[in-house]
Structure 1
Amino acid sequence: MELGKPLRCALSIGLLMGLVHLTAGAATTVTLKHVHGLAFSQDGQQLSIPSHDGLALYRDGHWSKAPGPEHDFMGFSAGRQAIYSSGHPASGSGLANPLGIIKSSDGGSTWQPLGLQGESDFHLLASSFDSGALYVFNMHPNSEMTSAGLYYRLNDGASWQQALAQGIGLDPSALAVHPTDSKTVAVATGSGLFLSSDAGEHFQPLLQNVQVLSVSFSIDGKSLWFGSFNKVPQLSILDLKTHEINALGLPPLNQDAVAYLAQSPANAKEWAMATINRDVYLSQDEGKTWKTIAQAGQTLESVN
């Protein structure tokens, strides 16, 4: 079975990274209209999901809406010291639209502008967990990026450098940066999975002729986790030393696929994933089994 037309449409960058809306009714009622990111807190106790009007939080089996500005977060990536994002400012904030690049060092309570405010909204953005490198796919020229393409900088104060990005197509769906090697970057596309070791100048294929939708480096830097669709949804792990690929377990997914992945910094065996159809899952055993914490956008509370 091929990936259905509605799902294929949702995989375009604009919709895949599109709006998420949180509806706060009762104290713990949170509804996910779309999902476009995942990140664990540094202690591993909390999962954050960026949204149309702030962050959704999952902690101790319960969902809530995070404090802080209710920005419409788009590109979203967490490192050890900070979270980076883009998107559009909350109504009444007085900030320029779009947000350009913003950074939070307190888990999303407050945000610092890093540039390109009022110019760019980056749907694909990835930060290295420890090296401080930041990569973005730029769709339109701005004052610091003269053309569309892949750009990077190695720290918050550096200027943006454009990478040639030779070897990949024009349909990137996900981006990930190695946790310690700032020049190693992976790109998922509609035609495969690609890896660069020279800051995006040249990419080599790791997997071809397969629709790859999501990619994430493990925090130890030894492997790549990625979600793909080849008649059926798949979740796999690739050893970066041997390039051996092994399949991981998935819950039943109907015309769906893995859109986002995140590993807990405090527990290497704990991973989170979110799907195109707004299911969210947690695994405590490196992807062997999964617990559902949201289904079709409806968040689920744990019963103690």
Structure 2
Amino acid sequence: MKPSKYAMHRALRAALAALALIVYGGTAAAQGVTLPDVHGLAYSADGKRLIVAVHDGMAVYSAGRWSKDPAPRHDYMGFTATKKRFYSSGHPARGSGLVNPLGLIVSGDGGRTWEKRGFEGESDFHTLGASYETNAIYVYNPGRNSRMDRPGIYYTLNDGFTWTRAQAQGFESTVHAIAVHPSKPQTVAVAAKEGLYLSANSGERFERLAAAQGLAAFFELDGEHLVYSLYDGAARLYRHSLKSRSRTEIPLPPLPRDAVSHIAQNPAERSEYAIATFERSVFLSKDIGKSWTQIARNGEGR
């Protein structure tokens, strides 16, 4: 596996730009909220808030309006949500007194407070996924640290107390995103430069489901489908049945010079999906992608 740190994300942006994708402008959002970038996308457990992790905290879309969450204004990287927790990495807010990088942090109160789970001052996990029901965590570690002796995909089933390196047979690629099955912690998907990969044995072996460049992945909360985004000269979004192994394409809104970077599902209204793009646009669908409403364009709330 090749390294995947923030420089790799920049390399991905450059590759997309070479394919006429423009990323990360600098427009102010409505109501004083800015989306300078998108580092994560998730719904709150009650489904009432859509949370966008950004460079300076969390932006929230709720009841048709954007606002800034009162959570600490860290630079949240690898942000992901489970049923009862938020997990993240990244860099501390100025004046917080925390060590940089944050390592692995966890919140049990919706992001108001955070606890350390190791690697502070050592690692910044930009690629992180967690199981919605089991809290199993997978990360891509781009280098060595005190508990991971070499780069690779690692996972923990006990909230970060012990870590195991996945053998990742059949996988040799640049990691872009990781998704973990909501109830089967051994099932993990990886979106990567050479395609979309799936493992049913904790990353020991992977099979490739799609050959185009993989950008994002998300397991639906009932555990029956995997939703993932690709770029093959145009933005694509697919829904893969884990049972029948068939896939259907989900129609996207017009995305000229753009692609899907993050995917989320509302746990309270499971036909509702949200996607974010590399140009910092955000869309909602109430009907599993049959139609879309744009709620942010180039970082500007609507």
Q: TM-score, normalised by structure 1?
A: 0.90
Give the counterpart of 1:160 among 135, 139, 163: 163
Gaps (5+ residues) in structure 2? 1-9, 18-22
State whether residues 237 and 249 of structure 2, in contact with CA within 8 Å, keep that contact through their aligned partners in structure 1.
yes
Give the counterpart of 1:98 among 91, 96, 101: 101
Give the counterpart of 2:59 among 56, 60, 64: 56
Distance 2:243 2:161 in 1: 31
2:244: which partner in 1? 242
Q: CA deviation at 1:20?
A: 10
1:221: which partner in 2? 223
Give the counterpart of 2:301 among 283, 286, 299: 299
Q: Secondary structure at the match of 1:115?
A: coil
1:15: which partner in 2? none
Q: Secondary structure at the match of 2:14?
A: helix
1:262: which partner in 2? 264
Give the counterpart of 1:178 among 167, 181, 184: 181
Cα distance change on mapping 1:160 and 1:7 into 2, 3 Å: closer
Give the counterpart of 2:153 among 122, 141, 150: 150
Q: CA deviation at 1:282?
A: 0.5
State whether residues 27 and 298 of structure 2, in contact with CA within 8 Å, keep that contact through their aligned partners in structure 1.
no
Distance 1:182 1:47 in 2: 24
1:66-116 Cα shifts (integer Å, max 9, x gaps): 012110111111000100000000111111100000001111111111111
Structure 1 runs (4+) deviating above 4 angstroms are: 5-8, 18-24
Structure with the bigger RCO (C-alpha within 8 Å, sep 6+) is: 2
Give the counterpart of 2:14 among 5, 9, 18: 9
1:171-219 Cα shifts (integer Å, max 9, x gaps): 11111000000110000112111111111111011122x1111110000
Cα distance change on mapping 1:295 and 1:6 into 2, 3 Å: farther
Give the counterpart of 1:188 among 183, 191, 197: 191
Percent of residue pairs identical? 48
Cα distance change on mapping 1:170 and 1:7 into 2, 3 Å: closer
State whether residues 21 and 52 of structure 1, in contact with CA within 8 Å, keep that contact through their aligned partners in structure 2.
no
Give the counterpart of 1:118 among 121, 145, 154: 121
1:205: which partner in 2? 208
Distance 1:90 1:23 in 2: 20
Cα distance change on mapping 1:21 and 1:67 into 2, 3 Å: farther
Q: Secondary structure at the match of 2:40?
A: coil
Q: CA deviation at 1:242?
A: 1.1
Q: Give the superposed CA RMSD.
A: 2.1
Q: TM-score, normalised by structure 2?
A: 0.91
| 1:89 and 2:92 aligned | yes
Distance 1:20 1:42 in 2: 30
How many correspondences in the alignment? Answer: 288
Q: CA deviation at 1:6?
A: 9.1
Cα distance change on mapping 1:114 and 1:8 into 2, 3 Å: closer
Gaps (5+ residues) in structure 1? 13-17
| 1:133 and 2:165 aligned | no
Distance 2:90 2:26 in 1: 14
State whether residues 169 and 189 of structure 1, in contact with CA within 8 Å, keep that contact through their aligned partners in structure 2.
no
